[in-house]
Amino acid sequence: MAITDTFQSGVAGGPPAAVVDTSKPDVRVISLQDIKDAVNKGIEDFSAKPTHLFILVPLYPFLAFCAFLFAGNKALLPLIFPVATGLVLIGPFIAIGLYEFSHRRERGLDLSWRNAFDFWHSPALPNVMFLGVVLVALFFAWLMAAMLIFVWTIGRYEPQTIVEVGELLFTTSAGWSLIIFGNLVGLGFALAAMSISVVSFPMLLDRNCSVARAVHTSVRVVAKNPVPMAAWGLVVAASLFVGALPLFVGHAVVIPVLAHATWHLYRKAVA
């Protein structure tokens, strides 16, 4: 395995910087049982160290901000569903600190709350943040696409309430066209996000490799395991949907479990 060592400049005898992994890791063939096992291990990690507050603290201010925008600008009401479903795109970035819990637990290390923020001290942080920006950009691209689809199917109509949005979607032919085309385009965005990020963030934290190496490995995992990865995508989508039903309260459990499961999926898929 090719490893490049880099050292900090400055004080003589200072500690070396983290080793940068330049290798091309092997990608394993996984099964549906591996997906199930990863989810079960994610549940075990969450049970060992409940991390719901880690998700609730940033999630609810974000949702409150979105609610404020929707209430103050009725032109944004058509985006309320795309914003909710867009959590699938940025979820891997939101949960970045939770991978460290799973990493530490598998090594038998301390699981105190401060460890959730250890990634801030990781040499991989710039690459993690860069990939996070890519996912956020993908999220906003999805919102733009959703608005264009709304205008294309419904026209330049501004519903006044969320109830009116629901009636428009489910009781008109234009609304059903919007649902069909919107879901198809949304699926494309979801596949793109999953392909570039399904194992990228855990790999960046674990190996301190380049973004290109992590993304390439993630794409290889998806390409080599299309059926298990499709099943994983369904698990994520269904879990987030169920978690969103009671005013997003369920996400306090769903997102941490999925994050922990993602770490174990990475361990199974990347040698």
Q: Is residue 5 part of a domain?
A: no
101 vs 18: which has the higher pLDDT: 101
* CB 123, CB 231: distance < 8 Å: no
* Total domains, the chain: 1
* Residue 142 structural domain: 26-269
What pLDDT does 159 receive? 74
What pLDDT does 6 receive? 35
Q: What one-character DSSP code corresponds to residue 161?
A: S
Distance, in Å, from the CA atom of 43 to the CA atom of 188, rounded to the nearest integer, reads 28
**pLDDT band, very low/low/confident/very high, at 135 (cuts 50, 70, 90):** very high
Q: Is residue 244 part of a domain?
A: yes
Largest CA distance in the chain: 72
State pLDDT tens for residues 42-82: 999 888 877 656 665 566 556 666 666 665 666 777 777 88
Q: Is residue 135 part of a domain?
A: yes
pTM of structure: 0.80
Question: With 50 as the cut, is the pLDDT of residue 9 above it?
Answer: no
What pLDDT does 65 receive? 60
How confident is the prediction for the chain on average, in pLDDT? Answer: 80
Distance, in Å, from the CA atom of 147 to the CA atom of 211, rounded to the nearest integer, reads 30
Q: Is residue 16 part of a domain?
A: no
State pLDDT tens for residues 150-168: 889 888 777 777 777 778 8
State pLDDT tens for residues 164-217: 777 888 888 888 998 999 999 999 999 999 999 999 999 998 988 999 999 999
Put residue 20 in one of left, alpha, beta given phi > 0 → left and psi -120 to 50 → alpha: beta
Distance, in Å, from the CA atom of 212 to the CA atom of 244, rounded to the nearest integer, reads 33
Q: Is residue 15 part of a domain?
A: no
What pLDDT does 169 receive? 81
Q: Which residues pair with 16 in a beta bridge?
A: 7
138: how many CB neighbours lie within 10 A of its CB? 18
Cα dist from 106 to 44, 257, 263, whole Å:
11, 15, 10
Q: Is residue 17 part of a domain?
A: no
209 vs 122: which has the higher pLDDT: 209
Q: Is residue 111 part of a domain?
A: yes
